[in-house]
Structure 1
């Protein structure tokens, strides 16, 4: 039976990076990312989570913006609307309008009240309408060091799923199913469901549901419901630092993520996939990747880069073998990384080639003036 919370969990997990904990903790802590060992090593790994069993479906995640996608577009007016609803804390902050030609995507909803101390650090948006459940996720956290304790708001739309939110079903370690012991609720007159701990899901439109989750924050039930009832439509558009034309190798982009501690410490990421065959992730920002030892010296975008061919790397992208890693220091404290690989244990089609990776690195359009003022706000 299709289950709203489980679908949202799978979608949120797919978008999280550097997951290195067991599935049960991931389910309890979403939409946070678990322990970031790669950040300690200054490497960045995009993780997808395998479908069913617990958390691992490798899907296309573009940090690149396609011109044709789910309401992702190019700004045409420097006076595009920005959101400025009065509130306590960061929800009322304004975002500068993107310049003409910038790639943007709608954020759809926002809380207009948050407890003190929470700052927004991550926004993830879909770049395709082909996925059966197209979702936008925004995440706030308390301190730079703590990413498990966070607040996440996900809005997803599914023309195929107009049923009210239902109790989520959790899978116990022994494989048995357990229905979550929560209760039906109403949020601003809309049907919803509260799991009794940290998550509220409600239906704001016939085809749109919202999920608010606050793992590890220790919020009171009153505060959690106050946040939920403060959620309002938001016409702000996320300004994406990367965009591209369709990628080579038959891979398709799904969604983009921008995250960081501040406008001076950030990263935008793309993940793209040829279903059950190959993946590509593209990253651009101020977060330096791990050192690229060995490999081939190449030139991309007019700068020196390293192209390595890892041997048996199956940890960077779960469910895939990473075949290529390209890293380039673009100067001015900016880095570009392109990873590409093939799915494990499946014929799936031709692998990405060296030329594919080089072409992706050349064709991606970088926007150094993207508005990132919302990070840490």
Structure 2
């Protein structure tokens, strides 16, 4: 069964980020930003110093020297990133939840011209650290005004307070089930569960208990996309944690889709019959299939920036000194695309992690990650909702 929520995020990431803030407004705001950056930020009632350097409030340049360690040199292309406050209305919330579940993650995608494209809230009874929720119950809103949606897609018709919807069970041994319905003329709502073993009746009860929610989530001082390499645009934002004081803020984006690039086919099979005996102009059937498979679509480069009490990067790597702070550069090549991590120890039990994924045909270097880190700033958000129902 196709994972509906992953499809939602994939589609949402293809949208542009919110408009860049007027540079004149940024210049006028610099003194206030500096004062804001040097004080402690109130995050969910816990005072946490999230600034990248204690005395440098605006984007700082990586540098400094360390005994016996490498030093990340300042990049000539590094510039102070324009900042903006990003606010998205939550619109709805479930008022009934199975026992033991609390809200630990909120994820939203870039706004369209008329409203938020996607908002997801995740409720779970297990830890979401260090890399976000791996299961639980999620409530998702997708902006979609097409009256033909949601489509059945082999789902079972259900009624949600007089509105039509469809339930999708665990066909084919899948460990997830979900139901979706049109909650209002502009939005499709989805309730999904993974690894909880909830029944159809449980999901129906959650869906039928959804009510309007006039609250919003705001990320303050989010850098705009001009500090991102490879045409990457920030368009995915996530706040998660097991407690307000231990929350992580993650921002992610992806570059433009790359066109299909033909690759030469190499036949590993034995020689086929003679050309005259083959249909379709005499091409070996194995080679023809390889030619078809070789039209590989080169995926876009992706990048994420996170600040939190832990890092999602693997252990080890090359030791660096970043603005007088310990840091390390880690590279993984055991997956389908190389992954590079730059991890900076901010002190006070906080880490900045910049991660780049480089598919074939794209290029994200450690220098790119350095530029992004140089343009990163303290991002503030109210996390008082973490751990509540």
What TM bracket, shorter-length normalisation?
0.5 to 0.7
Equivalent residue for 2:381, pick from 360, 370, 373: 370
Query: Which structure is richer in relative contact order (CA contacts within 8 A, separation 6 or more)?
Result: 2
| CA spacing shift, 1:7–1:108, aligned 2, 3 Å | farther
| CA spacing shift, 1:221–1:192, aligned 2, 3 Å | same
Equivalent residue for 2:138, pick from 131, 134, 152: 152
| CA spacing shift, 1:284–1:61, aligned 2, 3 Å | farther
| CA spacing shift, 1:6–1:221, aligned 2, 3 Å | closer
Q: Residues of 2 paired with 1:106 and 1:342: CA distance? A: 33
Gaps of 5+ in 2: 22-43, 46-83, 171-176, 257-298
SS in 2 for 1:232: strand
Task: Please state how far the C-alpha of 1:127 moved relative to its aligned partner.
Answer: 2.0
Provide, for residues 126-181 of structure 1, a one-character-per-residue CA deviation record: whole Å limited to 9, x for no partner.
02539xx932111101243896652111110135x43132333xxxxxxxxxx34x
Q: Is the contact between residue 245 and residue 364 of structure 1 (CA under 8 Å) also seen in structure 2?
A: no
Gaps of 5+ in 1: 15-56, 70-94, 169-178
Equivalent residue for 2:353, pick from 337, 342, 346: 337
Equivalent residue for 1:245, pick from 211, 215, 224: 224
Higher Cα Rg, which structure:
2
What residue in structure 1 maps to residue 308 of structure 2? Answer: 285
Task: Please state how far the C-alpha of 1:58 moved relative to its aligned partner.
Answer: 11
Q: Do residues 11 (structure 1) and 33 (structure 2) align?
A: no
Q: Residues of 1 paired with 2:309 and 2:214: CA distance? A: 28
Provide, for residues 20-66 of structure 1, a one-character-per-residue CA deviation record: whole Å limited to 9, x for no partner.
xxxxxxxxxxxxxxxxxxxxxxxxxxxxxxxxxxxxx995799xx86
What residue in structure 2 maps to residue 361 of structure 1? Answer: 373
Q: Which has the higher helix share?
A: 2
Task: Please state how far the C-alpha of 1:125 moved relative to its aligned partner.
Answer: 0.1
Provide, for residues 247-298 of structure 1, a one-character-per-residue CA deviation record: whole Å limited to 9, x for no partner.
3322112211111111132222122211234221111111244565342524
Equivalent residue for 1:254, pick from 225, 235, 255: 235
Q: Is the contact between residue 167 and residue 200 of structure 2 (CA under 8 Å) also seen in structure 1?
A: no
What residue in structure 2 maps to residue 33 of structure 1? Answer: none
Q: Is the contact between residue 263 and residue 375 of structure 1 (CA under 8 Å) also seen in structure 2?
A: yes
Q: Residues of 2 paired with 1:143 and 1:341: CA distance? A: 28
Task: Please state how far the C-alpha of 1:360 moved relative to its aligned partner.
Answer: 0.8
Q: Residues of 1 paired with 2:351 and 2:134: CA distance? A: 26
Q: Is the contact between residue 311 and residue 343 of structure 2 (CA under 8 Å) also seen in structure 1?
A: no
Q: Residues of 2 paired with 1:145 and 1:370: CA distance? A: 18
1:125-144 matched pairs, under 5 angstroms = 125-129=108-112, 134-144=117-127
Provide, for residues 335-370 of structure 1, a one-character-per-residue CA deviation record: whole Å limited to 9, x for no partner.
1001123212xx35xx23443221211212223x53
Q: Do residues 123 (structure 1) and 106 (structure 2) align?
A: yes
Q: Residues of 2 paired with 1:58 and 1:234: CA distance? A: 22
Q: Residues of 2 paired with 1:278 and 1:139: CA distance? A: 26
Equivalent residue for 1:263, pick from 244, 256, 265: 244
Task: Please state how far the C-alpha of 1:67 moved relative to its aligned partner.
Answer: 5.6
Equivalent residue for 1:166, pick from 129, 151, 170: 151
Equivalent residue for 1:229, pick from 208, 215, 229: 208
Measured on the aligned residues, the alpha-carbon RMSD in Å equals 3.5
What residue in structure 2 maps to residue 72 of structure 1? Answer: none
| CA spacing shift, 1:293–1:217, aligned 2, 3 Å | closer
Q: Residues of 2 paired with 1:352 and 1:145: CA distance? A: 28
SS in 2 for 1:366: coil
Q: Is the contact between residue 164 and residue 192 of structure 1 (CA under 8 Å) also seen in structure 2?
A: no
What residue in structure 2 maps to residue 307 of structure 1? Answer: 329
Off by >6 Å, runs of 4+ in structure 1: none
Q: Residues of 1 paired with 2:385 and 2:14: CA distance? A: 25
Task: Please state how far the C-alpha of 1:307 moved relative to its aligned partner.
Answer: 3.0
What residue in structure 2 maps to residue 191 of structure 1? Answer: 164
Q: What is the number of residues matched between the two proteins?
A: 274
Q: Is the contact between residue 105 and residue 238 of structure 1 (CA under 8 Å) also seen in structure 2?
A: yes
